Structure 1
Amino acid sequence: MKTIDSKSLSSFAPTGTLRVGINLGNPILASEDPVSKNLSGVTIDIANEIGKRTSLPVKLIPLKTAGATVDAVKTGDIDLVFVAIDPVRGADISYTPAYIQIEGAYMVKVGSPLKSNVEVDVMGNEIVVGKGSAYDLYLTREIKNATLLRSESSQTVIDDFMSGKGNVAAGVKQQLESDAKRYQGLRMLPGRFMVINQAIGIPKARTNYESTNVYLSNVITELKQSGFVAKAMKRHIIQGAKVAE
């Protein structure tokens, strides 16, 4: 088991507590009990394991969207986050290797003429996507002809879509399928338009962030190889994602 040196540790968690941003915008990563407000999920398990290995108390800070999670890194209020690897976010965040891969998919209404992902990027199509999500960042780079309509969060995409916004909804396949259960007349386009690599991120603004990243990267590698991540996914009944290679 790798250890982290004292200088890197004090830079990693300057308050003496490991403040972890938990993105509730992606149900594959974490969820919050509506009554007790207790957090659970793969990222919670990993965060607590890192706290155990570093002997740091862990403070879980729930945030509604990936965008809000990234913003908290920039302000210095968070020491560690679980977010999708993205080159735009990479300006401020240093990533470990991915621990989970998730599929991004499109959903349309039953009567839509669209049958495949390649038909989406056409002039006149409007894609509803959660503002600041990995899908928003990816589609902003990749979509050339269709128009992006940004919803407040990934959780509000389907509600906005069903209220008449756009003609395609984009996001985590499982999130879309779950939200779509509240409505009728929706279908997924087959396949996926992207694979999202989820990783641990730490702020580049901290001194010694490079050595901290090396330590966390080793931890993630060990957790994948030991079966920790796979067991956490099974325990939390996560489907539609796989342990990253």
Structure 2
Amino acid sequence: MVDPRVMQQLAPEGVLRAAINFGNPVLAQRGAGGEPQGVSVELAKALAEVLGVELQLITFEAAGKVFAALAEDAWRVAFLAIEPVREQQIAFSAPYVEIKGTCLVAMDSSLTHVAQLDAPGRRIAVGQSAAYDLYLSRTLKHAELVRAPTSAAAVDWFVEQELDAAAGVRDFLRTQVSAQRRLLEDDFMTIRQAMAVPVAHAAAAAFVKSFVERQIANGSVKRGLLASGQSAELQAT
């Protein structure tokens, strides 16, 4: 039987409200009919089943919008990258997926490695408030970040505004490679994706932490990745 405190914090009306972020296509995608699918959706379904409650998926186009909706109590569990800026308001589980962050550049760009990005005059497109935006905001000293509303839009802005690079998830940026565009050879960060609950919900946080550990151990995360066309190697260990 689930602790009543957990039930109150995760599904107070008998419904688990889970935020699904389409901004990271590794974790969530739209199905043929537009319905959410992907590993984060499968984890949300499994958690609702364990709790014995209904599941309501609340979709967002970017991680920053998921985080902003926390103040409105729009969701009780979400799927976000672990970031120090967010930890003041969010309690994270251990990561269930680890994703590399890198940059897309023009084929004729002089850039080959991420260490070359931080130079005066460089302009890099990012999805606003995405994990890599937060990371690059802390670490870049000279380059300018140009913030697009979503990660996909960042690639469009990079092309349209002839910026130096577009930062993002390597797996997604790989789909944007063409005769005119290529990826840098290395990564600037490892993005650790986790389940998240409001920091005040301590009982729920402990429950979700244990739940994620079980989902990794029993192979559910790996199956969710494979079913949505992702690499099983992305699963955290």
Identity %: 30
In the TM superposition, what are the counterparts of 1:7-18 in structure 2 within 5 Å?
A: 7-18=5-16
| Number of the residue aligned with 1:92 | 89
Q: Aligned-pair RMSD on alpha carbons?
A: 1.4
| Number of the residue aligned with 1:196 | 191
Moved more, 10-19 or 93-102: 10-19
Decide whether the 8 Å contact of 1:173 with 1:240 is kept in 2.
no
For 1:221 and 1:36, locate their aligned partners in 2 and report how far apart those are by CA, in whole Å: 31
| Number of the residue aligned with 1:60 | 57
For 2:56 and 2:148, locate their aligned partners in 1 and report how far apart those are by CA, in whole Å: 29
For 1:240 and 1:150, locate their aligned partners in 2 and report how far apart those are by CA, in whole Å: 31
Deviation at 1:4, TM superposition (A): 2.9
The one of 137, 148, 153 aligned to 1:156: 153
SS of aligned partner of 1:68:
helix
TM-score normalized by structure 2?
Answer: 0.95
TM-score normalized by structure 1?
Answer: 0.92
Question: 2:216 is aligned with what amino acid?
Answer: K
The CA deviation string for residues 90-112 of structure 1, in whole angstroms up to 9 with x for no partner, is 11111111100001011110111
The one of 114, 117, 131 aligned to 1:117: 114
For 2:62 and 2:156, locate their aligned partners in 1 and report how far apart those are by CA, in whole Å: 16
SS of aligned partner of 1:73:
helix
SS of aligned partner of 2:50:
helix
The CA deviation string for residues 87-144 of structure 1, in whole angstroms up to 9 with x for no partner, is 1111111111110000101111011111211111111111110001001000001111
| CA separation of 1:150 and 1:185: change in aligned 2, threshold 3 A | same
For 2:11 and 2:74, locate their aligned partners in 1 and report how far apart those are by CA, in whole Å: 10
| Number of the residue aligned with 1:237 | 229
Decide whether the 8 Å contact of 1:174 with 1:240 is kept in 2.
no
Moved more, 92-101 or 158-167: 158-167
Structure 1, unaligned stretches of length 5 or more? none
Decide whether the 8 Å contact of 1:4 with 1:212 is kept in 2.
no
Decide whether the 8 Å contact of 1:17 with 1:58 is kept in 2.
yes
Deviation at 1:37, TM superposition (A): 1.6
Question: How many residue pairs were aligned?
Answer: 237
Decide whether the 8 Å contact of 2:177 with 2:183 is kept in 1.
no
Deviation at 1:220, TM superposition (A): 0.6
For 2:54 and 2:188, locate their aligned partners in 1 and report how far apart those are by CA, in whole Å: 39
Deviation at 1:86, TM superposition (A): 0.4
The one of 169, 194, 215 aligned to 2:207: 215
Structure 2, unaligned stretches of length 5 or more? none
The CA deviation string for residues 181-223 of structure 1, in whole angstroms up to 9 with x for no partner, is 5xx4001000211000000001124xxx112111111111111
